[in-house]
Amino acid sequence: MLDYDQAISFLGDWGPYQLIVFFLLSASTIPNGFNGMSVMFLAAIPEHRCRVPDSANLSLAWRNVSIPWEEKDGDLIQSRCWRYKLDTLKNYSDLGLLPGLQVNLSDIKKEKCLDGWEFDRDIYRSTIITEWDIVCDDDWKGPLTTSLFFAGVLTGSFVSGQLSDRFGRKKILFATMAVQTGFSIVQVFSTSWEMFAILFMIVGMGQISNYVAAFILGSEILGKSARIIFSTLGICIFFAIGYMILPLFAYFLRDWRTLLIALTVPGLLCIPLWWIIPESPQWLISQGRIEEAEAIIRRAAKQNKVSAPAVIFKTSELDEKQRLNKRHTILDLVKTHNIRIITILTILFWLIVSIGYFGVSLNTPNLNGDPFLNCFLLAAIEVPSYIIAWQLLRIVPRRYSMCGTMLLGGVVLLLIQLVPIDLHILSTCMVMIGKFGVTAAFSMAYVYTAELYPTVIRNMGVGIGSMSSRVGSVISPYFVYLGAYNRLLPYILMGTLTVIMGLLVLLFPETFGKPLPETMDQTQNVKGLCCKRKPGTVSDEYPMDIKDGMILMSSKL
C-alpha cells in the first residue's frame, strides 16, 4: 500500500484540519455513553410488594400484616413476590380476630401476587420493570433485556467492519448513527416488553457499529501522532463523558419514556457533521479512487494553510510484497502451538475483563446510596483510569501493567465482602477502585493483543479478542441478576475471575519495547508453556516503531 503517513506529512500533526476531525469524531461517541449504560435506569427495579386490593375488605390490622417478612442480606424485608392468602385473612378479619394474638401468621398459607404489585415511586416514577411488571416469575426478563442489547452489540461488531470496508467509513458511520437514533425513538412507543427488547437489540447493533466506524475513520484520517492520542485517549474519554452525563439526565427525568427521548435527541445533533467530516482518504485509495482522496487532502492543506505537492499519492509506490502476501484464515489463530496458547489466553482475558467492566458498571443500582451519584462516580473514575493506562503503556512492561491493574480490581472487589453493611461510603469507594483497575486493564487490552500477534494475522487476533469481549458483555447482566438475591455474590464472582486472569496474564510474552512480529515464525513464546524460541525469531532487524502497534487501538470496540 501507499505510505500514507509519509504522503500527508506536509499537513503537519495538529493543524485546524486535524483538530476539527479529532474533536468532532470524538464527540460523536458521546451518545454511545448514553445508550451503552442507559439500561441501568430504563430497567431499574424499584422496591415492590404484592398489591392488596381494596376489594379484599380487610381490617387495617390484617392489611398491615398481609405481606410476609423475609430475610435478605441479614435484614428482614417484606416479601416481593408473596402475600398471605387473602381469603383466609378476610375470614379472620370478619371474625374480628387479631393477628399475632389470636392467629399465628405462620399457620396461614401464602399465595403469589395475583393482583399485581405496588412499586416504590420515590426514586423512579416509571421503568420498563414497573410498566410491564417484570418481577418475581418474570424477573428473568430484566437481565435478558440487557443481554439482548449486548447481543446486538456482538452482531454489530461482527458486521460493521465488513460494511465499512464495502461501502466506506463515512457512510456506515452516519447510517449506523441513524439506526441508533431512529430505533431509540421508536422504542419510546413500545407497547410490550417484547417490542422494547427487540428494538433494544437493534439499537445495540447501531451503537457499536457507529463507534467502530468513528474509530476507524479517525484512525485513518489523522496522522501518526494525532492518531495515537485519538485512539487511546480521545474517543474513550468522550465515551466516558456521555456515561457521566447519563445519571444527570436520569436524575431529572424519572420516567423511562421521557428519559429515552432526552437521551436520543443529542444523536440528531450529529446530522450537520455529514458536511464537515470527510471520507477516509485511505479507504478511497484502497478502492482506486485516488483523485477523490487527493481532493480531500488538498482541502485539508488549504484549511491548515500549507502548500500541497503537485502529486500527493504516487500509485507507483504500491507495495508489491504486501499484495503478494499469502492469504491467512482464522484457522491460523490455532495453527501452531505458540499462537494457539496465545489465542486461548486472549479469549479468556477478553471474556473476563469484559464481565468485570460491564458487571461492575451494570451493578450500580445494587449499591447502597443514591444510584444517580453512584453511577456518576463510576463513570468519572474512567477518565483517570484511561490516563493512567496510557502512561503505563508508555513506561511499564505490558505483562506487569495488565497484571497489576487486574489484581488491583479483582482483590478490591473480593475485599468488599469484609466491609460492614452499614459502611456504605467505604463500599462505594472500593467498588470505584475495582472499576478503576478493571477499566485500565480493558483500555490496554487492544494495544497488548495487537502486539502479541504477527502482522499477517493481527486483525484476526484483535477481532477474536473483541468478539470474546462481546460474549462477556452478554453474560455480565446475569452476574448483576445474582445481586438481587445476595448483594455480595456478583463481587465475589467477578473478583475471583479477575484475580485468576490477572495471574494468567503473566504467561503472555512481553512485547514492551520490542518490534512487532511480522510473520508466524516470529511470534514470541508463551511463558512456561512453550519450548525455547527458535533462532531467527523477533529481533532488532525489524525496525517498525512500537507505537505503530498502538495507532489503531481503542478500549470499547
**pLDDT score at 456:** 65
Let me know whether 90 and 237 are in one domain.
Answer: no
**pLDDT score at 526:** 61
Residue 134 falls within a domain, yes or no? Answer: yes
**pLDDT score at 328:** 62
* pTM summary value: 0.79
Let me know whether 394 and 460 are in one domain.
Answer: yes
**pLDDT score at 542:** 37
Residue 266 falls within a domain, yes or no? Answer: yes
Helix 382-395 × helix 371-380 angle, to 10°: 20
What is the domain-level CATH number for residue 138? 1.20.1250.20
- DSSP E strand stretches across 346-436: none
Give the total number of structural domains in the chain. 3
Residue 296 falls within a domain, yes or no? Answer: no
Let me know whether 497 and 366 are in one domain.
Answer: yes
At 14-63, the pLDDT tens digits run 888 888 988 998 888 888 888 888 988 999 989 899 998 888 888 888 88
Residue 455 falls within a domain, yes or no? Answer: yes
Spans of the chain below 50 pLDDT: 1, 318-325, 529-557
Let me know whether 473 and 506 are in one domain.
Answer: yes
Let me know whether 167 and 246 are in one domain.
Answer: yes
CA angle 96, 97, 98 (to 5 degrees): 120
Let me know whether 160 and 34 are in one domain.
Answer: yes
Let me know whether 360 and 430 are in one domain.
Answer: yes
Cα separations in angstroms, 230 against 8, 216, 337, 393, 498: 17, 10, 35, 15, 28
Residue 314 falls within a domain, yes or no? Answer: no
Residue 214 falls within a domain, yes or no? Answer: yes
Let me know whether 88 and 136 are in one domain.
Answer: no
Domain end point (choices 237, 271, 305): 271
Let me know whether 448 and 502 are in one domain.
Answer: yes
Let me know whether 165 and 92 are in one domain.
Answer: no
Residue 127 falls within a domain, yes or no? Answer: yes
Domain end point (choices 119, 146, 175): 119
User: Phi and psi for 170 in degrees, rounded to 5?
Assistant: -65, -45
SS3 8: coil
Residue 331 falls within a domain, yes or no? Answer: yes
**pLDDT score at 125:** 92
Chain center to CA of 310: 45
**pLDDT score at 185:** 93
Contact predicate 39/151, CB 8 Å: no
Q: What is the Cβ-side half-sphere exposure of residue 39, based on CA atoms within 13 angstroms?
A: 27
DSSP β-bridge partners for residue 392: none
Let me know whether 413 and 528 are in one domain.
Answer: yes
Domain that holds residue 75: 48-119
Q: Round to whole Å and give the CA distance between 130 and 119.
A: 7
SS3 407: helix
Cell of 131: 410498566
Domain end point (choices 119, 148, 175): 119
Let me know whether 252 and 346 are in one domain.
Answer: no
